[in-house]
Amino acid sequence: MALNLRQKQTECIIRMLNLNQPVNPTGTANEEVYKILIYDRFCQNILSPLIHVKDLRKHGVTLYFLIDKDRKPVHDVPAVYFVQPNHSNIQRIVADASHSLYDSFHLNFSSSIPRPLLEDLASGALNSDSINRISKVHDQYLEFVTLEDNLFSLSQKSTYVQLNDPSAGDKEIEDIIERVVSGLFCVLATLAVVPIIRCPRGGPAEMVASALDQKLRDHLFSKNNLFSEGGGFVSSFQRPILCVFDRNFELSAGIQHDFRYRPLVHDIIGLKLNRLSVPGEKGGMKSYELDSSDPFWMANGLLEFPEVAVEIETQLNKYKKDVDEVNRKTGGTAGAEFDGTDLMGNTKHLMNAVNSLPELTERKQVIDKHTNIATVLLGEIKERSLDSYVKKENDMMIRGGIDQNELLGVLKGKGTKIDKLRFAIMYIISSETINPSEAEAVEAALRESEVDTSAFQYVKKIKSLNVSLASANSASRNNIVDWAEKLYGQSISAVTAGMKNLLSSDRQLALTRTVEALMEGKPNPEVDSYLVFDPRAPKSSSGTSSSHLKGPFKEAIVFMIGGGNYVEYGSLQDLAQRQQPVKHVIYGTTEILTGMEFVEQLTFLGQKMGLGSSVATSSATQ
């Protein structure tokens, strides 16, 4: 069975809302109990993409509150708490229990509650003589936000900054790694799978993979372990592979402009917890939800923007045609005399028309929603020349550089300060070697546009320290050239001119290529040096690669430490669909970032290192 993270997490939440009782096939408890739900901000974000208000009502939740708000007592009603296990939440729970706010307390923690906090809870409840009100305490292992069936985020802010901060001590780095490992453990516990873990050597990826391997081993030794799949040897074809990477593996994917619908919507309008706001027709803002309940979003999210615009037009014409058809069948013909013989036929048409109205109305709402979103995107694309940025960035990555006049022309042309900064950083990343006078001219052009150059300087410094960035990109570039020539039998310039859509998409992502190689499990120089961890195998064999750990794998979980994005998510979903038979890839990250948000983190690091000009210091950690 394919791993469906959204479905699994939703099932866990529904069970929790039903006081951790088994639920029947209709998804409700056998005995309906009215209750109150209390959550903190983090757990509100976990619930938000999965459970709507109508779903809460269905499961007997009549009232819901944030834990830090003042609340009045509600007697004879149980309360379900869903919160992170931290000191302030424990204090608040003890206070609520001591004031007898609710009849009974069902406590659910988003991850495993540490023993000292559990002791604080017990002693607080004992001292206030309210221990009898606490019915159950559960560790739910749900400390991650699932946005789509195959997309999750740990919602851990600024991990990239914290891991790359030159002033960070060993203890701070260990704490961050531990937090990431705890979040990934929650994901695996929810899916109930123990994967084979692969990662590049060194850096945060190896630290996370190694610590996660140890945490899983320790857990598998415990009597009541969460992983229900059969113990002992399970072939790799039934177990997923977990590929762990660090953002520095491929910086460009976090910075580049992209022309596909999902990344474009996220990057330009900002998609938070599957929601966004765009200006309405009559002033004010209009909020929309973009998730699995929206068929247009699911079907067209990976298409390039011009194709999406055509698809909206097609759907609108189809809708108009269907409305005309309904009107024609129910309206009768003008001037025709009434003939009793057609009464049954007319009644049938009317019934069909009435039945089709809700579906037509829903279709119209979806079309209007995406028309509004596309209109906003089009305005931004024209104003900022985003299509030009996308094309030139792709050309740079393929050719390994750009003509200086063209480069400076972009920096002095249309686009926001951040657009120009992202373009300049892409120039640094894509160049085989950095020409000092050219780099100086780029910096001067950025300063002229009043752009803070700290992020540019920071990446330039990484580039000079880390030659592997250049080698990874040159390998990636050669791959594209080979691929294009094999596919079309044409020279690269001819392909670039006519087929920029194909080249701008996925073959250029080193991440996707690497995941494909790891899933295939065939000898490949790009991944042969990757570490292997199997938490089910004896400790001595971990880190080496025995044959059953090599694959092939039909399911993968890809995790990016330090911030991911919809560009990589889309690329991996494309990869999964391209395979024969179709494979399954879940993509997760410490947080999902727009290009602007990631560049702000680079800026913050550049400033900490005393690089660049602080013309416009922005709050980089937001």
The CATH number of residue 9's host domain is: 3.40.50.2060
Average pLDDT over residues 307-333: 83
421 and 403 part of one domain: yes
Q: Does residue 617 sit within a domain? A: no
Q: Could you tell me how many residues make up the chain?
A: 622
Q: Does residue 226 sit within a domain? A: no
Last residue of a domain, one of 463, 480, 497: 480
Give φ, ψ of 597 to 5 degrees.
-65, -40
Q: Does residue 198 sit within a domain? A: yes
Q: Kindly report, residue by residue over 383-420, the tens digit of the pLDDT.
A: 999 999 999 998 888 887 888 888 899 999 999 999 99
3-class secondary-structure state, position 286: strand
User: Is residue 26's pLDDT more than 80?
Assistant: no
Q: Does residue 227 sit within a domain? A: no
28 and 74 part of one domain: yes
98 and 155 part of one domain: no
398 and 379 part of one domain: no
398 and 363 part of one domain: no
Q: Does residue 22 sit within a domain? A: yes
Q: Kindly report, residue by residue over 350-361, the tens digit of the pLDDT.
A: 677 677 778 888
Q: Kindly report, residue by residue over 608-618, the tens digit of the pLDDT.
A: 888 766 444 44
pLDDT at 228: 59
pLDDT at 536: 86
Asked if omega into 525 is within 30° of 0 (cis), the reply is no
19 and 129 part of one domain: yes
Reported pTM: 0.87
Domain range for 82 is 5-143
Average pLDDT over residues 178-203: 94
Q: Does residue 263 sit within a domain? A: no
Give me the number of domains the chain comprises.
4
Give φ, ψ of 21 to 5 degrees.
-90, 155
CA atoms within 13 A on the CB side of 147: 24
156 and 135 part of one domain: no
362 and 416 part of one domain: no
Q: Does residue 208 sit within a domain? A: yes
Longest dimension (CA), the chain: 91
User: Is residue 583's pLDDT more than 70?
Assistant: yes
Q: Does residue 559 sit within a domain? A: yes
Last residue of a domain, one of 90, 123, 143: 143
Among 144-148, 432-436, 596-600, 603-607, the least confident range = 432-436
What pairs with residue 65 in β-bridges? 38
- Assign 112 a pLDDT band (cuts: 50, 70, 90): very high
Mean pLDDT of the chain: 83
3-class secondary-structure state, position 84: coil
Among 267-271, 485-489, 518-522, the least confident range = 485-489
590 and 521 part of one domain: yes
138 and 161 part of one domain: no
User: Is residue 347's pLDDT more than 80?
Assistant: no
Return all residues near 500 (Cβ < 8 A) that are at least 6 apart.
Answer: 391, 394
33 and 122 part of one domain: yes
| CATH number (domain holding residue 520) | 3.40.50.1910
285 and 394 part of one domain: no
User: In angstroms, rounded to a whole number, what is the distance separating the alpha carbons of residues 186 and 202?
Assistant: 24
pLDDT at 478: 42
Q: Kindly report, residue by residue over 505-515, the tens digit of the pLDDT.
A: 434 588 999 99
Give the whole-number percent of the chain exceeding pLDDT 70.
83
Last residue of a domain, one of 118, 143, 168: 143
| CATH number (domain holding residue 357) | 3.90.830.10
320's enclosing H/E stretch is: helix 305-331
